[in-house]
């Protein structure tokens, strides 16, 4: 009851926005409904996107229980969802939200406020994709200048001996699967837009290195991270790998592959190596899919071990990778049906629609890392102890991505 009252109170603040959204878009193809913006008559992608926009007046990407107001990767995840809905519908409301949000961080001179360059944190790169998107659409120089700053970080990013990016400066000699999504889609698009030599070698190197260092030969699944010098307590003393298959880590990696392939030239022979990795890991994921629900556990091979649970964000990410992979021809078309089944299971097990039509995504792990202070030991007990959140962007954004891809295939 408390939750419903809170949402109802929020809606009072949204009334002016509601009127604005209706009034300015009646002539726009794919415009928001003029009756109820989160009406079930709308496609899922728009219901999800509209729920988010109405809950975040002022074009902000944070709230009282989510991430901070600083430049961060979760912001980039949700904005990417809105970008995809914009590209699908042509509705300027989604574009305006992205631009309004980014303009709160990027000055007219192209400086990114609250962005700590010297941290060399790959997470801070992810939102840069929206800088490239806005520059491509508007040609406003500030977006290019800001994106060039992120590109400079990549150039100077500390690396392992064979060239793999450290996840952050504070995590030396460590590659995390998360980092592939954070950096590579931005990196390759920046190269394609602005670099004269169009050399994609370094992008490919990151994927191949991460795969070779984290893949389990027996299951085909990928461990969360690799520590080159094996100094971390969580690192296997022989392989340097962390000890568990965390669902979302693999989700980040697969989403990065399908997004990077958008920009890797068709005649680049290395496309096949990425597609092969995508196919092999996807097949491995089907083997650890829960038969009853059609979903995946927080620790993928942990089944219903005490404390393990069906986690939402890995399911949304896998569904997106399967659907886009099949739509693009990287995966067998059977994966479209698998993606549809998974999406429907997400709706059944992880989604609630409140009395106002707003969509809530449940059971998303708030976050899971390695090392640090207090120390995260990568144990099974650690992963299942991280709090679960509702409407966490890391699950909600990829749920939008998934809906968009399935709608492209006319399956939703």
pLDDT tens track for 311-341? 999 999 999 999 999 999 999 999 999 999 9
Is 18 contained in some domain?
A: no
Contact assessment for residue 318 and residue 296, using Cβ atoms and an 8 Å cutoff = yes
With CA atoms as reference, report the closest residue to 250 among 190, 301, 174: 301
Which of 92, 96, 148, 178 is an active site residue? 178
Is residue 291 in some structural domain? yes
Active site residue 178: yes
**Where are the alpha helices (H) located in 140-236, listed in sequence order?**
141-156, 178-194, 201-214
* Cα–Cα distance, 320 to 407 (Å, whole number): 12
Domain that holds residue 392: 46-408
Q: Is the pLDDT of residue 3 over 50?
A: no
Residue 200 pLDDT more than 80? Answer: yes
Q: What is the CATH number of the domain that holds 268?
A: 1.50.10.10
Residue 402 lies in a domain: yes
What is the structure's pLDDT at 65? Answer: 62
In a domain, 298, yes or no: yes
Number of domains, the chain? 1
**Residue 384 is assigned to a structural domain of this protein:** yes
In a domain, 38, yes or no: no
Q: Please state the pTM of the whole predicted model.
A: 0.92
The answer to the question of residue 244 being in a domain is yes
- What pLDDT is recorded for position 38? 87
The answer to whether position 6 is within a domain reads: no
Does the pLDDT at position 20 exceed 60?
no
Is the peptide bond preceding residue 374 cis, with omega within 30 degrees of 0?
yes
Q: At what angle do helices 128-138 and 92-102 cross, to 10 degrees?
A: 120
The residue written with tokens 């190596």 in the block is: 273
CA dist 225 → 204, 343, 403 (Å) = 18, 27, 29
pLDDT at 225: 98
More confident residue, 38 or 25: 38
């Amino acid at each position: 009851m408390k939750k419903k009252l809170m949402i109802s109170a929020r809606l009072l603040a949204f009334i002016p926005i509601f009127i604005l959204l209706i009034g300015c878009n009646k002539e726009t193809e794919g415009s928001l409904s003029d009756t109820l913006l989160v009406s079930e008559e709308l496609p899922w992608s728009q219901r999800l996107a509209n729920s988010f926009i109405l809950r975040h007046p002022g074009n902000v990407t944070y709230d009282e229980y989510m991430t901070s107001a600083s430049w961060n990767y979760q912001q980039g995840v949700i904005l990417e969802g809105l970008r995809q809905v914009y590209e699908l519908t042509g509705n300027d409301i989604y574009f305006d939200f992205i631009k309004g949000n980014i303009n709160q961080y990027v000055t007219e001179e192209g400086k990114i406020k609250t962005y700590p360059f010297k941290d060399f944190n790959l997470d801070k790169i992810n939102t840069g994709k929206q800088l490239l998107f806005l520059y491509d659409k508007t040609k406003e120089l500030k977006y290019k200048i800001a994106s060039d700053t992120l590109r400079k970080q990549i150039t100077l990013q500390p690396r392992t001996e064979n060239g793999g990016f450290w996840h952050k400066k504070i995590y030396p000699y460590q590659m995390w699967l998360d980092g592939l999504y954070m950096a590579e889609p931005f990196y390759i698009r920046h190269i394609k837009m602005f670099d004269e030599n169009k050399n994609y070698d370094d992008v490919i190197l990151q994927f191949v290195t991460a795969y070779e260092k984290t893949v389990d030969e027996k299951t085909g699944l990928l461990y969360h991270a690799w520590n080159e010098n094996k100094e971390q307590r969580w690192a296997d003393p022989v392989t340097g790998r962390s000890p568990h298959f965390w669902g979302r880590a693999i989700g980040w990696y697969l989403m990065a592959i399908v997004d990077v392939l958008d920009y890797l030239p068709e005649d680049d022979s290395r496309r096949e190596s990425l597609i092969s990795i995508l196919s092999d890991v996807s097949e491995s994921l089907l083997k650890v899919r829960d038969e009853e629900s059609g979903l995946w556990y927080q620790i993928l091979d942990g089944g219903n071990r005490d404390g393990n649970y069906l986690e939402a964000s890995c399911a949304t990410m896998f569904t997106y990778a399967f659907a886009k992979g099949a739509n693009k021809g990287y995966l067998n078309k059977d994966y479209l049906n698998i993606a549809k089944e998974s999406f429907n299971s997400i709706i059944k097990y992880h989604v609630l629609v409140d009395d106002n039509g707003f969509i809530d995504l449940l059971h998303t792990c708030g976050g899971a890392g390695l090392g640090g202070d207090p120390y995260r030991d990568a144990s099974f007990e650690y992963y299942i102890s991280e709090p679960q959140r509702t409407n966490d962007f890391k699950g909600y954004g990829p749920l939008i991505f998934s809906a968009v891809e399935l709608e492209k295939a006319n399956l939703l």
